[in-house]
Amino acid sequence: MRNGIDLEGLGAARDAISETPSAGIATYGVDLTWHQGVKIEAQATGIIVGQESIPRNFKWTVDEPPQLLGESSGPTPQEYLMSGVGACIMVGFVVNASVKGIDLRSLKIRMSGGLDLAGFLNLREDAEVKMQGLDYEIEVDCDASAEALEEVADAALNFSPNAMTVKNGIPISGRLKVMATG
């Protein structure tokens, strides 16, 4: 174990996925329920990795501050997006540092990003709806060279599924299901 990472287990997982690529396919899901105003409850529905179903029993609240019509009862969708990207980079940093034999004393990531609310409100054609970009800063305390840490940081970003999803974009598809009322 290094930094809480089971390196032997990591190696076994890599071998299993190399041998049987379908063992490395992961599917995630969440259910979202509107409560009132802009307050939403999200619940994880489970993960499937290869053929294994992993139950997940987590709920969280998504809300906006009063200035954006909410009650501040939970993080905004953008804060969840940034935490998902930042946490994914952090997981990659810890795993890659561990593989390189680097013992971490502390690790923090600060994420920031912004958007033009005029895009969301459809007020101007030139106002983009998407966030203008995400910026992160990794703060690490350990005994490793700057060069080794740059390699770890590069791998953490470039092999982060969440960061690469945001950076490169993915298709989004959906459908509307109207419930018949009495």
Residues 71-127 have pLDDT tens digits of 999 999 999 999 999 999 999 999 999 999 999 999 999 999 999 999 999 999 999
Residues 143-178 have pLDDT tens digits of 999 999 999 999 999 999 999 999 999 999 999 999
For the whole model, what pTM was predicted?
0.93
User: Using 50, 70 and 90 to split pLDDT, how confident is the model at 180?
Assistant: confident
Q: What's 2's DSSP letter?
A: B
What are all long-range contacts of 5-10, with beta carbons under 8 Å and residues at least 24 apart?
Answer: 5/94, 5/95, 5/98, 7/98, 7/99, 10/95, 10/98, 10/99
Domains identified in the chain and CATH numbers: 76-168 (3.30.300.20)
